[in-house]
Amino acid sequence: MHIVLVDTSRVVLKMIAALLEPNGHTVSAFTNSTEALDYIEQTPTVRVLITSLEVRPLSGLELCWSARLLAESNRPLYVITMSSARSERNLAEALDSGADDFIEKPPSPEELHARLRAADRLTNMQSELIRLAQTDPLTGLLNRRAFLSRSHEAADRVGNHGKMSAILIDIDHFKHINDEYGHDVGDSAIQAVARELGTEGIVGRLGGEEFGVVLPHRPGADAEILAGRLRRGIEALRLRGGRAPIRVTCSFGVSDWIEGDTVEGLIKRADIALYEAKATGRNRIVT
Ligand code: GH3
Ligand code: MG
Ligand code: MG
Ligand code: MG
């Protein structure tokens, strides 16, 4: 596991790293707690934070608390605090500040390894739960909630004056596919369209046979080009399930980020454009 280790003493850091590294762990050691927090924020592979309570400039408890807030935005992070003065109060304060565990300094190798095995079990389970909560099981794409949440995060980075665009995609006459060939063929049509959407931008299944793509930092013109490519790719699909190969087409609504925009506004405008694409004949793109 990738472990961030924080202590004011380089000797202590070296000693603990020497216990961890032979067991295959990657250790990033810090004497400064603010630098450690920045590193954790920028490094999604970090699974475990081990920090002394006596660190600076953020105290160990403040570091715990801040790391816990980062972890709430959908990443598993196991926090272990360390103190040479083990008192009931230290222990309770650490746990109340968001720590998962508390060890005495210096830790015994057996205890440290056992606690890290617990961390490994727990963070693996958390990762799996996070993955399940974000994924649409039929297509493997982001589900609606995760799609919107990623889009909001992207919009925060894009800001008021930046570029961003969206595409909404809906399969044409999908009821006909279900009615004519059955629900299983309908499902495989949804899967085939989902595969065709690829991985450019934030891609999600928003509902039954409706999908969304958000392109952070890219103008509507780029979204239009991508939509054109997707439209042609989907049109060229030939699905099995009937006597003859089954064709499928989609309609597309494209929208562009405007000053003071919100994700809701962006998607609403793409939805209006999509509605127009349906009304004017389907298998087309409206911007
Ligand atoms: P339009 O061109 O106007 O979009 O026509 P449509 O037939 O696609 O219309 P609509 O969006 O109303 O129909 C969607 C249908 O998709 C209704 C629903 O029964 C079906 N559906 C929704 N989710 C699933 C799914 O997971 N699998 C299958 N096979 N069908 C689904
Ligand atoms: Mg519809
Ligand atoms: Mg449809
Ligand atoms: Mg629909």
Residue identifier of the C-alpha nearest atom 13 of ligand 1: 175
Ligand 1 pocket at CB < 6 A: 138, 170-175, 178, 183, 186-187, 190, 208-209, 278, 282
Structure pTM? 0.86
Tens digit of each residue's pLDDT, the chain (287 residues) = 999 999 999 999 999 999 999 999 999 999 999 999 999 999 999 999 999 999 999 999 999 999 998 877 678 999 999 988 767 788 888 999 889 999 988 889 999 999 999 999 999 999 999 999 999 999 999 999 999 999 999 999 988 889 999 999 999 999 999 999 999 999 999 999 999 999 999 999 999 999 999 999 999 999 999 999 999 999 999 999 988 999 999 999 999 999 989 999 999 999 999 999 999 999 999 99
> Of the bound ligands, which one is closest to the alpha carbon of residue 212?
4
CB count, 10 Å around CB of 21? Answer: 12
Distance 56 CA to ligand 3 centre (A): 57
Cβ neighbors of 212 (< 8 A, separation 6 or more) are 147, 166, 167, 168, 169, 202, 203, 204, 206, 267, 270
Rounded CA-CA distance 171/249 in Å is: 6
Here the ipTM equals 0.95
285-286 vs 101-104, strand pairing mode: unpaired
174-181 and 183-197 helices, crossing angle to 10°: 140
Burial 103-133 (b: 16+ CB within 10 A, else e): bebebeeeebeebbeebeeebeebeeeeeee
Q: How far is the CA of 76 from the centre of ligand 2 (A)?
A: 38
